[in-house]
């Protein structure tokens, strides 16, 4: 990884005779920043960083072959001594210009220009993302930070590079990236440790990399030649025509519309059906947060990925369990009632879908939507406190009974998206509340006794401080599981000031249980059991 230099900063190191006799040695610069491995090989002198870019083992104890290839003997990584190229495709090794003057070896330790460092490191980050290599991603982000470059440029590049590899549009990686960036900004305001901040960016990029790993490119449709209209976009998404819808959105952005101006259209499309387990609205909201954070340079790939998802997502209101949903949309009163206090939601916990949706329509005649929302959040949190986790551990069950923590927590993350959306698009409250009712009812078969008192939180502020620290060292193998810890935590925290004391207390207790109960990350026996049931023995 050689660098061109606009200004030299030559440092006297060792005498040439000593280096010739020993072949290789370590030189520690008095400035404390540079520890160099110096080599004399085939009549030439070389200088490289002494620490292997892989895990930091000393390259001064490596081996140099006849072709001037340096091998780190700990993990067999190999580099060219002249330019630092990694022969196995991993991180490159920094090399330094060397001159011999009057029998002394001089090394130019001048840092390269920032622009060159950024170009080099972002190229390395692309390679790290191709492998979804968490450690390598972290190292490249640390290099950006050390060079004084905002490491979020790595997130921007990764979003621009990888979102068109998601065949069916936005995934959890988009929502998780928005939340990790929110924590990154929050830590900056608090003057938090740099380590905590880079964890957020590393986790975000790894999730994007994991969701797009070794996927081909599914190119986004080119901008439409026709002017954008919300009606045409809604019709294209409803007809599941992803490419025309993407073309319209790209045309709108090219004409100067912001993602924020498009967001109400996308939110209406997301709530037009009980869509994809609520993911559609969550992605619409989180995409807006991403664009707000990173700027318009990511608006086009982010919006295109969201639109592709909206067109392809499962319309769950078309399957038997939720087929009556549409009839209840028509039963909502034209205006909500005036009552601000939340209605009692005890009778809808464990109730069938018809009872829950009927309850929503009934309460709408008397209560403000925010009050009904509060009661539904209370019910969703109660479900989490009553979840019989034996169902999540069971193996010999039918596919229809595959249930786990994520089936329960999604109600709260969707609730946060509904509340956020309806602050600016109040006409969507009706659909949002009915779909929250779908979440209340869908898991009723898996409820047991309440564990509310066991998980009640007394010091809410201390609880969230601990919860955020848990996110930074979650120990989950797959990004999807870490993502749900993150999304649920931030969703509940965001809603606390908007909820009644009863609903807030119940939501925090539910989150407390989720964060501390075991999560089975892989169902080996269940998968094989269900495969045999489908295919036959």
The whole-angstrom separation of Cα 64 and Cα 70 is 4
Can you give the pLDDT at residue 165? 98
What is the Cα Rg of the chain in Å? 28
Beta strand segments in 146-288, E: none
Residue 101, CA distances (Å) to 15, 114, 186 in order: 9, 29, 52
Look at residue 181 in the predicted model and tell me its pLDDT: 98
- The closest of 388, 389, 337 to 365, measured between CA atoms, is 337
Residue showing tokens 């091998």:
71
d(CA 439, CA 378): 12
CATH number of 10-108: 2.102.10.10
pTM for the structure as a whole: 0.91
Dist. CA 347–CA 358, nearest whole Å:
12
What string of pLDDT tens digits covers the 537 residues of the chain?
A: 555 444 678 999 999 999 999 999 999 987 777 799 999 999 999 999 999 998 889 999 999 999 999 999 999 999 999 999 999 888 899 999 999 999 999 999 988 889 999 999 999 999 999 999 999 999 999 999 989 999 999 999 999 999 999 999 999 999 999 999 999 999 987 777 899 999 999 999 999 999 999 999 999 999 999 999 999 999 999 999 999 999 999 999 999 999 999 999 999 999 999 999 999 999 999 999 999 999 999 999 999 999 999 999 999 999 999 999 999 999 999 999 999 999 999 999 999 999 999 999 999 999 999 999 999 999 999 999 999 999 999 999 999 899 999 999 999 999 999 999 999 999 999 999 999 999 999 999 999 998 888 999 999 999 999 999 999 999 999 999 999 999 999 999 999 999 999 999 999 999 999 999 998 888 989 999 888 888 987
| pLDDT score, position 520 | 87
Q: Give CA torsion, residues 374, 376, 382, 388, to 10 deg.
A: -160
Supply the pLDDT for residue 310.
98
pLDDT of residue 127: 93
Domain ranges of the chain: 10-108, 114-211, 230-317, 321-525
Handedness of CA 221, 223, 224, 230 (dihedral sign): positive
Q: How many angstroms separate the Cα of 124 from the Cα of each of 33, 121, 157, 272, 525? A: 22, 5, 12, 42, 39
Which element (helix H / strand E) includes 100? strand 98-101
Predicted local distance difference test score (pLDDT) of residue 7: 65
- Name the DSSP letter for residue 275: B
- At residue 521's C-alpha, the angle toward residues 515 and 525, to 5°, is 140
Q: Where are the beta strands (DSSP E) in 102-223?
A: 104-108
* Number of CB atoms found within 10 A of residue 497's CB: 7
- Residue 255 φ then ψ, to 5°: -85, 0
Q: How far apart are CA 91 and CA 168, in angstroms?
A: 32
Q: What's the pLDDT at 442?
A: 95
Residue range 230-317, CATH number: 1.20.272
């Amino acid at each position: 990884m050689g660098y061109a230099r606009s200004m030299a900063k030559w440092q006297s190191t060792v005498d040439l005779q000593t280096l010739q006799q020993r072949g290789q040695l370590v030189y520690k610069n008095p400035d404390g920043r540079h520890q160099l491995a110096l080599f004399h090989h085939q009549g030439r002198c070389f200088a490289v960083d002494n620490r292997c870019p892989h895990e930091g083992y000393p390259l001064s104890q490596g081996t140099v072959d006849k072709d001037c290839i340096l091998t780190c003997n700990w993990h067999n990584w190999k580099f060219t001594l002249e330019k630092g190229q990694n022969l196995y495709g991993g991180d490159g090794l920094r090399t330094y210009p060397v001159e011999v003057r009057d029998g002394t070896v001089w090394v130019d330790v001048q840092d390269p220009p920032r622009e060159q460092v950024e170009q080099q490191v972002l190229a390395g980050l692309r390679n790290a993302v191709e492998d979804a290599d968490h450690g390598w991603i972290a190292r490249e982000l640390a290099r950006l930070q050390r060079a004084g470059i905002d490491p979020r440029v790595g997130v921007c590049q990764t979003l621009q590079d990888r979102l068109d590899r998601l065949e069916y549009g936005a995934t959890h990686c988009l929502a998780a990236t928005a939340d990790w960036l929110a924590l990154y900004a929050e830590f900056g305001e608090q003057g938090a440790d740099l380590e905590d901040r880079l964890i957020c960016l590393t986790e975000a990029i790894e999730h994007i990399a994991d969701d797009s790993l070794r996927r081909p490119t599914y190119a986004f449709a080119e901008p439409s030649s026709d002017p954008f209209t919300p009606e045409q976009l809604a019709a294209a998404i409803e007809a599941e025509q992803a490419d025309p819808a993407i073309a319209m959105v790209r045309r709108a952005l090219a004409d100067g519309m912001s993602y924020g101006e498009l967001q109400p259209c996308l939110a209406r499309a997301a709530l037009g059906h009980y869509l994809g387990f609520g993911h559609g609205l969550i992605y619409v909201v989180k995409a807006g947060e991403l664009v707000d954070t990173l700027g318009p340079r990511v608006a086009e790939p982010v919006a295109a990925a969201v639109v592709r998802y909206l067109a392809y997502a499962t319309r769950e209101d078309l399957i038997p369990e939720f087929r009556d949903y549409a009839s209840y949309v028509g039963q909502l009163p034209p205006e909500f009632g005036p009552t601000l206090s939340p209605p009692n939601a005890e009778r809808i916990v464990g109730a069938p879908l018809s009872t829950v949706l009927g309850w929503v329509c009934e309460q709408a005649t008397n209560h403000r939507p925010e009050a009904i929302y509060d009661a539904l959040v209370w019910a969703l949190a109660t479900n989490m406190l009553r979840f019989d986790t034996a169902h999540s551990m069971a193996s010999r069950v039918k596919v229809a009974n595959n249930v786990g923590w994520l089936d329960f927590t999604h109600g709260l993350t969707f609730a946060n998206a509904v509340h956020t959306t309806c602050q600016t698009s109040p006409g969507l409250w009706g659909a949002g509340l009915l779909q929250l009712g779908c979440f209340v009812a869908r898991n009723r078969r898996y409820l047991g006794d309440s564990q509310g008192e066991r998980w009640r939180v007394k010091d809410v502020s201390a609880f969230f401080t601990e919860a955020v620290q848990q996110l930074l060292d979650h120990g989950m193998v797959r990004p999807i599981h870490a993502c749900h810890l993150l999304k649920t935590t931030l969703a509940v925290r965001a809603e606390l000031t908007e909820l009644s004391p009863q609903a807030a207390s119940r939501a925090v207790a539910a989150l407390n249980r989720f964060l501390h109960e075991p999560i089975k990350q892989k169902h080996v026996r269940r998968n094989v059991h269900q495969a045999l049931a489908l295919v036959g023995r």
